Chain A
Amino acid sequence: MEFLNPAALYALALLPLLLVPYLIRRRPRRLFFSSLLLLREFATRRSARPWEKMYLPPIFFLQLILLALLLLALGEPSLSFRPVSVALVLDNSASMQAIEGEKSRFQLAQDEAAKILSALPAHARVDLYIVVPRLTRVTEESLKPGEAIARLNSLGPLDLGEADIDYGAEFERLVGERKYQRLHFLTDHPAEGQSASVRVVTLGRPKANLAISAFQIARRSLASPQLEARAIVRNFSATEQKFKLALKGNGNLLAGRSYSVAPNRSVEAAFENIPWRPYYEAEIDAGDGLALDNRRFAVPPPQGALKILAVSPRPEGLSSLRAIPGVELQLVSPEAYEKGNFEPHALEIFHYSAPAVLPESHALFVLPPKQNPLVEIGTALSRPTVSGWREPHPLTRYINFALFRPAYARELKPGGLGEAIIQSPDGPMAVALEQKDFRYLALGFDPFPFLGRQNLPMSIFTLNLLDWFNEGRTGNASATGAPLAAQLRPGEMVLTPTGEKIALEKTSTVFARTYVQGIYRITGGETEKFFAVNLGDERESDLREPPVIQLRSEPGAASNRAFYASLWPYLLLTAIALLLLEWFLNPASARERPASEPVKRDDFRWA
């Protein structure tokens, strides 16, 4: 037997309240009696009895049973036959690593799952599922309960967030497709609604948590060799939290500071002039529920100058860029670009030219032709003056747009992608787009001829855009579950944060098994490469109110009803029968027997 609404069973704790009316009734009814001469002896005898203080008549126990039955009926007990086709879904997302007492939520889920499996008949068939990186079966074949318990122990939580799926609908589909008689989902999400086949076991309680939501190592400026670290710590609690943030480089402590963060707010910590290390780690010492998000990793941006590949039919127009410190310019013609295979550059500038598709790097389009993959080109502007701009934005800072007057400009049409950064009275002059970790900027004017003191706002704009592209040029960092973009060759080896060594046997451009947060090292090549992988889902850090799973009764699961019989109507009927019995045994008329009514003093009068 199980309860579909187990929360109602907490109401059983209210049963002792039934004593209250009897305690209140302890003030006895006052009745007149002709003479107490013959009764005094009984009073003396009764007061000596120890149970006299708590006299509970038999009707009390009848009422107690009646109330208990009603509360049990509220719990909606159901008699279920032991299913033989069972799906066991384990939530192995990052939030299941939260500690509840001495065990993690995932360990509690394993224990609960083992209990469920132990209760199954020996011939039952069990399918194990996990929810991250996606809802998938652990084994191809169905397992016996004993085998499933053994397999269960080999599973562990991953440093991944859950996909946005409607579990109620997904389980409904799964039960319908695979004809499961029962599906158990062990998770930290609460559930609402009822389902004949799906049972959600909610583990864990709401907790306060601090999490490092972002950590980045970047250059201070375009030409600066100095690095600075920025970390954002978010407070997922209702109280102000204090913490100490430690910055480590290559495993050694570099700096540390104390901060406090308001409830539901974030605080940004910055460390300047940090030395170069192969990789960095930010860690907070909060003893909160989830340790995973108390650490975050980053690798420094590539050393050296900002390498720019400029594609232009008019290379002389770009020569002024060479004067900017920290910039390494390679000029090629559009024809050479189409034919050649160039090394990856930090930035590709298409000057009066455009590639067929958006390049896999940051790219700047200056007065591109009409056939370009980024924007539509409009007509030439009659008066290329600026009428509006995005603010605040890294591209528009420090610029006096009253003096920003390009000699020639064309109207750009973003066409749904990108946002207008600089507006003229006739249309946008600059459109920016961020897509797939790359930044793209299309300009309807050419800023480069004006570098230097001839047009200061235009020069500032040029430096801004180089800085903007340089900001996006951080180290190799990605979210857990996202593939690492790396040129992997046979003979190289990937060392994961768990210490696992994976030898590569063939050439690949990505490494996909990034389910654990930490530093991934690729060794065996010319240089050792470091990649930082961090938990990329802030929702996993919020342990206060996980989303509720909405369960529905499966319309097509009529066959399942054979395994399920609701008992609450019978309990209700029994309670009603007891109520009638109580009414029969203790009718109101008996309670108001005239003889037991107090005789008023007014009655002592001859009528």
Chain B
Amino acid sequence: MNLNRYAILVACATFFLIIAGALVTSHDAGLATPDWPLSNGQVFPKMVGNLFWEHGHRLIATSVGILTIGLVIYLYRREKRLWVRRLGLFALFAVVVQGLLGGLTVKFMLPLSVSTAHATLAQLFFCTTVSIAVFTSRSWLVDRPTLEEKGSLQLRHISVVALMIILVQLVIGATLRHSARWDQDLPKELLFIHIGGAVIVTLILGTAIFLVLRRHPNEPFLTRPATFALALLATQLVLGLAAYMTRLASPYDPQPLNPMVAITVAHVACGALVFATTIVLTLRTYRVLRPGRAYEFAESAQNA
């Protein structure tokens, strides 16, 4: 397996881990065992009830940790670019901190701040593994003609803004999820902020996608992630609405029911994919786009 395929494997495993984590939250399984890192004092406990989700999450997380160590070794053996190797080290650091946050949230019985930090760092770690997969990909490494940014609104900049807004939206979403269990009502203020965030993400990411498709329609290096992002964004909005509707009835259910669990987990997973696709789009815009003449002229005029 070459380095890029291995990096893709790590990114996919991380995505799977995010789904496993979301399943823990939706099943209210975070405290199925009060101890950490062992579960009820055992490495392999009987995985019944919610312990299946919590301990399963721990096993997958351990696997991702081992895969990340392998990635760092791989990078230091095969990768010549120092900054990519350092990015691998950052990934290792992030996965270690993430494991500790997972332990802390169990030990302190799911305090909102720690649980939200755990969910947020999961996305940042995913972002890092996706970035490594992009940087080691063949499409990134081959020589590409440089394209000029067209228009005054720089595509690279708006992509970065979209990425930042999505990250903030993911943090708000994580806070919302961890603010109320399945048998509690969602806090309305936070819900409205999350809906407002969805509108802003749609506007900004939508603008970035529109600019890619309009300015560079014959550049699949850019249009592919943009098209993916568009499809995922639309799916995510539908999933968000569906998740809200199933969550409304949830406090009256006898237990976390499969429709609510499936839809809320799909919403989390799709959010991670929107984030990952926007990372790919943003990195690629920086790979091929350079400031256009109009932009340079405006800048020099401003400096003068």
* Chain A complexes with chain B: no
B residues near A (Cβ < 8 Å) are: none
